[in-house]
Amino acid sequence: MSNELTKTYKKGSEKPCIVPKSDLNMATDTVPYCKEHYSDEPAEYEECIKPENFGVYCCYKEFGSTSLKERQECFAKLTPKDEK
């Protein structure tokens, strides 16, 4: 229960999310982040590590459901191809 509350109220940082896809490195950027945040969700993990999806999945994990404004601001800073 505590873990779920932590995820719900999380206000993280957009910094790891706002990286141009051309600068993303799977070995040092997407895989470690996605492994830390999506290791218990295999299908989500597989999508997260893809450079074209990384920003969106990162914004979701950085900002919980009570931080929708911050999450939307994070999405807005992604390049158009990052958005779903």
pLDDT band at 6; cut points 50, 70, 90: low
Mean pLDDT of all residues in 74-78: 94
Whether residue 48 lies inside any domain: the answer is yes
Whether residue 9 lies inside any domain: the answer is yes
Q: What is the mean pLDDT of the chain?
A: 85
Whether residue 68 lies inside any domain: the answer is yes
- The answer, yes or no, to whether residue 5 has pLDDT greater than 90, is no
Whether residue 83 lies inside any domain: the answer is no
Whether residue 84 lies inside any domain: the answer is no
Residues 6+ apart with CB under 8 A from 72: none
Whether residue 72 lies inside any domain: the answer is yes
Domain, as residue range, for 55:
2-78
* Cβ proximity of 18 and 56 under 8 Å: no
Single-letter amino acid code for the residue at 67:
S
pTM above 0.85, yes or no: no
pLDDT band at 21; cut points 50, 70, 90: confident
